[in-house]
Amino acid sequence: MEPVSSDAIPTGEEWIAQVKWDGVRILTYSDNQEVRLYNRKKNERTFHFPEIIPIHEYCSSNSVILDGEVISLGEDGRPSFQQVMRRDGLRNLERIKLAVESVPIIYMIFDVLFLDGEWIHNKPLHERNQILGDIITPNEHIQLVPSMTEAEALFHAIKEQGMEGIIMKRISSPYSIGKKRDDWLKVKNYRDIIAVIGGFTLRHDTVNSILLGLYDNKGNLNYVGHTGTGKMTVNNWKDLTKELSGLVTDEHPFSKTPPRHAHATWVRPVKTVKIKFAEWTEGGAMRQPSIEGFIEVPPHECVLERT
């Protein structure tokens, strides 16, 4: 189930608020014989997050499907999307042991769909929350997402901490599998998108900014801005330079030639990145965009959802 975007925080006793954690959505399947993990794209992540596998250490049920967000905290104590993507993006599973030590994670559980042989996704949210409290025992790597009735206060705290936002949930709502419904609303402190890299610029032979695009409904890649800031280390930029150098092409992939392109190098539009930004400008570009982390999403899914 996915939330619907909202600019307003609903009021009333039928709503509760939760922190919107900036991580990787993970479903946990356990049938008393084995545990398997899957992300939002239905890609298996069982071996990426071994901390979640010993389910009987924190869950008392015999069979269960849990929904939650895997997060990793940065040095400032806030969830770091780039950090958690270091775990989710691992392809050499031999490096998992090292990653477990260098990038610790927490599984923030917020829902339960199936319990001891019975589908419970149609039970109201307040009952599912009660069930979670009964069956889950938090530990170092497992936590329950708390619910609050003071949504405005929570959102204010989120803004002060520079975190992503909050999720508003109707307490009577079912879990609508595979659907996006306004029983869940996401109210963001800032905006973010997943964009396609269509080019880059260099400084001293290293990438120092990337040119970004989103597809429209006709399949055209529209230029939406460029950025050279974000949660990137010197080594991150060097790795990106090496990767993008292998994608260089003679023609730019955008529907229209981007402004200030004289020093740009074009690439095939296959690499995607999560971008945080303040707002859209009247000219159709992002204001104050910055890199949050690189994420594997099919480029054609990076679409322009605005008029």
Are 148 and 154 in contact, with CB atoms under 8 Å apart?
Answer: yes
| pLDDT at 33 (0 to 100) | 83
pLDDT at residue 97, rounded to an integer: 86
What's the CA gap between 98 and 95, in Å, rounded? 5
pLDDT tens, position by position, 185-208: 999 888 889 999 999 999 999 999
**Mean pLDDT of the region 134-163:** 94
pLDDT given for residue 238 in this prediction: 94
Q: How far is it, in rounded angstroms, from Cα 107 to Cα 296?
A: 21
Predicted pLDDT of residue 74: 82
Note the pLDDT tens digit of each residue in 18-66: 999 989 999 999 998 899 999 988 899 999 999 999 999 999 999 999 9
Share the mean pLDDT of the chain.
Answer: 92
**Percentage with pLDDT > 90 across the chain:** 71
**Calpha distance 52→71 (Å, rounded):** 12
59-73, 204-218, 235-249, 256-270: segment of lowest average pLDDT: 256-270
What pLDDT was estimated at residue 182?
94
Instruction: Give the model's confidence band at 239: pLDDT under 50 very low, under 70 low, under 90 confident, else very high.
Output: very high
pLDDT value at residue 12: 94
Could you tell me the domains of the chain? 1-21+145-189 (3.30.1490.70), 22-144 (3.30.470.30), 191-301 (2.40.50.140)
- Comparing CA positions, the residue from 25, 27, 30, 39 lying closest to residue 60 is 30
Rg (CA), the chain: 21
Q: Which are the contacts of 277, defined by CB distance < 8 A and separation ≥ 6?
A: 190, 191, 192, 193, 225, 286, 287, 288, 289, 290
Position 255 pLDDT exceeds 70: yes
Question: Using CB atoms within 10 A of its CB, is residue 96 exposed (0-12), middle (13-18) or buried (19+)?
Answer: middle
Q: Binning pLDDT at 50, 70 and 90, where does residue 2 land?
A: very high
Lowest-confidence range among 87-101, 104-118, 208-222?
Answer: 87-101
Overall average pLDDT of the 175-185 stretch = 95
Q: How confident is the model at residue 307 (pLDDT cuts 50, 70, 90)?
A: very low
